[in-house]
Chains A and B, each alone.
Chain A
Amino acid sequence: MSVDARAAPVLTMSPERVTMRERIVAGVPWAGWIVLAILLAIPALGGGRYLVYLGTLIALQAALATSLNIVMGYAGQFAMSHSAFYGIGAYASAILVTSVGLPFWGAVPIAMACAGVLAAVIGYPALRYTGGVHLALITFAFGELARLVAANWDMLTGGPMGMRVMYTPGSLFGLELGSAKGLYALAAGMLLVCLLVTEVIQRSRFGRGLVAVREDETLAAFLGVNVVGYKVAAYVISSMLAAMVGCAYAPIMNFISPDLLSAHETISLIGVLILGGIGTIAGPIIGTLLFFGIPEMLRVARLYRLVVLGVVIVLVALFMPKGIAGVLRDRVERWKRGLR
């Protein structure tokens, strides 16, 4: 990101020490992946029903936050329709499985394709101009329209009362996914897929183009980046991943309702992203852990837990606007350069 202006003292450091520090810093992402692996293993190996259930919810939310991070964190586009695509994925897969009779793993790609087409149709006109507040409002309006359609199309969606889902995902590669731990594996798998896509994007030319678009659209266009194409592609990928996570939501919760599509879900996801650190791989996961972890740790009445969480969010927003992962990254970067 931005070049640290105080990098000058690097020149005075002895060369060996710098390489040593650089080597340690290069290991930080690997340490992060190991921590994630341990965290994911805890509910899978030991742990009672409650821990497995909580782990499933957190993995699902973290997957959703990670997928939103692609369009918001890397491309810098304020898309408010994320929960709508999450809900569209859940509804589309549930309808395909129960009414059409497709197997779960056959319904997932179709639901994702539907979401991708919808995202392209809504995203292209909205992103053709500089996105900004207009994109936020168009995607917000689209999301609310989708919610209203879900609430009013009684025949297909069961109307405002929601619909009950009574199927389990079939086994994949010999892995049985019907049990509680199987559903946990499904949610964790979704998280890993989203992380993998983000990692690939971050390392690719496409990802660097997105960051260029986020930092300065005009300059990016000058450098030969297809600004509109990149923005639409980020929006479509992000929305398709949201739909994929939504497919997992239906059998895990056994129940979907139009509330799933409401913009409040997107807004709290944005809160998660900013809390954790927007535009970083670890940020969405840290944010989700805090968002769900703080309320779980505090064994007081539910309402007061959320009050404490609200205070934490305000404090983070005021004192670490880059989010927790962003602050950590800056600290590590400065340490590498021999600054305290």
Chain B
Amino acid sequence: MDLIQTLLDGLMVGGLYATVAIGVTLVFGIMGILNFAHGQMVMLGAYTAFFVVSAGLGFWPALLIGMVAMGALGLVLERVVFRHTLGDHMQGLTASLGVIMVVENLAAAAFTHDPRTFEPPLPGSFQIVGLTLSSQRMLVLVLVVVLVVACHLFLQKTRIGKAIRAMGQNRTGAALVGIQTTQVTAVVFVLGSAMAGAAGVLYGSLFAITPYMAAAPLMKGFILTVLGGLGSVPGAVLAGFLLGVAESLGSRYLSASFRDGYGFMLLIIALLYFRRGLFGHRGKVRV
């Protein structure tokens, strides 16, 4: 029972990681833009949810508004900054460092350092076959699965999703067959940012919100993107769930204070011995 509970807990946390990782996979793995400011989108998404819920509008509008607002911010960032750094990882990295400093410090000035929480839509817990499960955590798990499946279907079935995948394979080739690469880049950035916003809202419904909360989900997002095989959405999702379960098992049965360490050990082993990731095809990608 204890084991199953721990596994479910890991799946829930892993789902959150996976949601961030999808955004990173789209923007970094497919478009090749090294955007470290992705974590800031998670943070701003969580704050958006906090203010919407505090205004009395409830959780579901907060989820929608968070996604739309972060998508819009992503569009602005893409138009103003990141479309000029395409193809140069170092330049994108530096620009995103600047964006992080601006966003994080403005957020700290505007929202203060106090940790914030908001009322989740499903408080309390329920019992099923001897397991005590937090309702909100299960809701988050379900929402994550819905988001992941929706994102996957979008990439597989729609015309623009196919264009995105084509660009991931070969940008020049995609342009040659008539794909509007600049517009598709913008769409990818909006989509990735909206996923980050959604992840932020879900984070905020479980954990405290602070202006500095962005670092951990961001780093895990990058790790998962590489673990899953660069540019592979199913790989990133699977890696996210695996990481969540590994962390949760490790902190339950080994040592809780070393929680983040299990993921890093997994990463080092994976990078040394399974260099293509879970679903990757190209082993050699340079920063």
Partners in one complex: yes
Residues of A within 8 A of B (CB): 78, 125-126, 129-138, 140-142, 144-145, 148, 151-152, 263-264, 267-268, 270-271, 274-275, 278, 301, 303-304, 306-307, 309-318, 321
Quick one: given A137-B267, A141-B267, are A317 and B101 in contact (CB under 8 Å)?
Answer: no
A142 to B287, alpha carbons, bound, how many Å? 18
Chosen A-B contacts, 15 in total, with CB atoms closer than 8 Å, are A132-B285, A133-B230, A133-B287, A134-B226, A141-B268, A145-B261, A267-B97, A274-B90, A307-B101, A307-B109, A311-B98, A313-B97, A313-B98, A314-B98, A317-B91
Assess whether B57 is interfacial by the CB under 8 Å rule: no
Most buried by B among A135, A145, A151: A145
B267 touches A304 (CB 8 A): no
A137 touches B286 (CB 8 A): no
B258 touches A152 (CB 8 A): yes
Give the contacting residue for B101; candidates A132, A134, A270, A309; CB below 8 A. A309
B95 touches A313 (CB 8 A): yes
Assess whether B50 is interfacial by the CB under 8 Å rule: no
Interface readout for B64-108 with A: 1 if CB under 8 Å, 0 if not?
Answer: 000000000000000001001100101101110111111101101
**8 Å CB interface, B211-246 against A:** 215, 219, 222-223, 226, 230
B101 touches A130 (CB 8 A): no
Number of A-B contacts (CB under 8 A): 127
A130 touches B284 (CB 8 A): yes
Taking the closest CB of chain B, its distance from the CB of A30, in whole angstroms, is 30
B97 touches A318 (CB 8 A): no
Assess whether B265 is interfacial by the CB under 8 Å rule: yes
Give the contacting residue for A137; candidates B91, B99, B100, B222; CB below 8 A. B222
Assess whether B122 is interfacial by the CB under 8 Å rule: no
B95 touches A137 (CB 8 A): no
Q: A137-B271, A321-B90 are in contact. List 15 more A-B contacts (CB 8 A).
A: A130-B286, A132-B287, A134-B275, A137-B267, A138-B272, A148-B258, A271-B97, A301-B109, A303-B109, A304-B105, A310-B99, A313-B94, A314-B95, A318-B81, A321-B88
Taking the closest CB of chain A, its distance from the CB of B63, in whole angstroms, is 29
**Residues of chain A lying within 8 A (CB to CB) of residue B17:** none
Quick one: given A133-B287, A318-B84, are A138 and B268 in contact (CB under 8 Å)?
Answer: yes
**Contact size range, B:** 35 or more
A318 to B99, alpha carbons, bound, how many Å? 12
Taking the closest CB of chain A, its distance from the CB of B59, in whole angstroms, is 30
Interface readout for B255-269 with A: 1 if CB under 8 Å, 0 if not?
Answer: 101101100110110
**Residues of chain A lying within 8 A (CB to CB) of residue B47:** none
Assess whether B203 is interfacial by the CB under 8 Å rule: no
Quick one: given A129-B275, A274-B90, are A310 and B264 in contact (CB under 8 Å)?
Answer: no
Give the contacting residue for B284; candidates A132, A136, A264, A268; CB below 8 A. A132
Report the nearest B residue to A125, measured CB to CB.
B272
A125 to B223, alpha carbons, bound, how many Å? 18
A317 to B81, alpha carbons, bound, how many Å? 9
A34 to B277, alpha carbons, bound, how many Å? 51
Report the nearest A residue to B108, measured CB to CB.
A303
**Residues of chain A lying within 8 A (CB to CB) of residue B36:** 267
**8 Å CB interface, B182-232 against A:** 215, 219, 222-223, 226, 230
**Residues of chain A lying within 8 A (CB to CB) of residue B103:** 310
A126 to B272, alpha carbons, bound, how many Å? 7
Report the nearest A residue to B95, measured CB to CB.
A317
Give the contacting residue for A142; candidates B85, B99, B223, B268; CB below 8 A. B268
Quick one: given A307-B105, A311-B102, are A318 and B85 in contact (CB under 8 Å)?
Answer: yes
